[in-house]
Structure 1
Amino acid sequence: MEIKILGTGCANCKKLEVNAKEAVKELNVEAKITKVEDIKDIMKYGVMRTPAIVINEKVKMFGKVSSVDEIKKYINDEK
């Protein structure tokens, strides 16, 4: 599973990354988490507001920081 955190490095982007790592840990799933900070790469996903989370190349949420429980649901939807 591949999880991408889209954002330019703001505090909310960092918090989303922390929450994603915690969700992966709690679910004990194999996942690669990467950050996408280049605005051109972010725009390729059609995201106009960050932070955003992409799982297996599907945008799951943008414009807010998802909670650990929300991210766990996104991960389970992709299993």
Structure 2
Amino acid sequence: MEIKVLGTGCASCKALYETVKQAVAELGIEATVIKEEDLMQIMNYNVMSMPGLVINEKVVSAGKKLSVGDVKAFLTK
């Protein structure tokens, strides 16, 4: 599983990255967590609100602060 946190380095983006890492650890799943800060790459996902969450190349959230529980729900769907 590949998970990308899209964001240009804002506090919300950094927080989501940490939240995703925590959710992955708590679930005990094998996943690569990537923090994508390149605006050109982010635009490829058509995400205009940060932070964005991409799981296996599918945008599942944009512009929202997610809890660990929210992230776990996306990861276990």
TM-score bracket, normalised by the shorter chain, equals over 0.9
Deviation above 2 Å: which 4+ runs of structure 1? none
Aligned counterparts of 1:66 and 1:52: Cα–Cα separation in 2: 10
Report the counterpart of residue 54 of structure 2 in structure 1.
Answer: 54
Aligned counterparts of 2:6 and 2:65: Cα–Cα separation in 1: 11
Q: Where does 1:1-79 land on structure 2 (aligned, <5 Å)?
A: 1-77=1-77
**Identity %, equivalent residues:** 52
Q: Give unpaired runs (5+ residues) of structure 2.
A: none
Q: TM-score w.r.t. structure 2 length?
A: 0.97
Letter aligned with residue 66 of structure 2 = S
- The number of residue pairs the alignment matches comes to 77
RMSD: 0.6
In the TM superposition, residue 65 of structure 1 has moved relative to its aligned partner by: 1.6
Aligned counterparts of 2:9 and 2:16: Cα–Cα separation in 1: 11
Aligned counterparts of 2:26 and 2:16: Cα–Cα separation in 1: 15
Q: TM-score w.r.t. structure 1 length?
A: 0.95
Aligned counterparts of 1:10 and 1:53: Cα–Cα separation in 2: 14
Aligned counterparts of 1:24 and 1:33: Cα–Cα separation in 2: 9
Query: What are the superposed Cα offsets for residues 2-50 of structure 1, whole Å, 9 maximum, x if unpaired?
Result: 0000000010000000100010011000000001101110010010011
Q: Give unpaired runs (5+ residues) of structure 1.
A: none
Aligned counterparts of 1:10 and 1:46: Cα–Cα separation in 2: 18
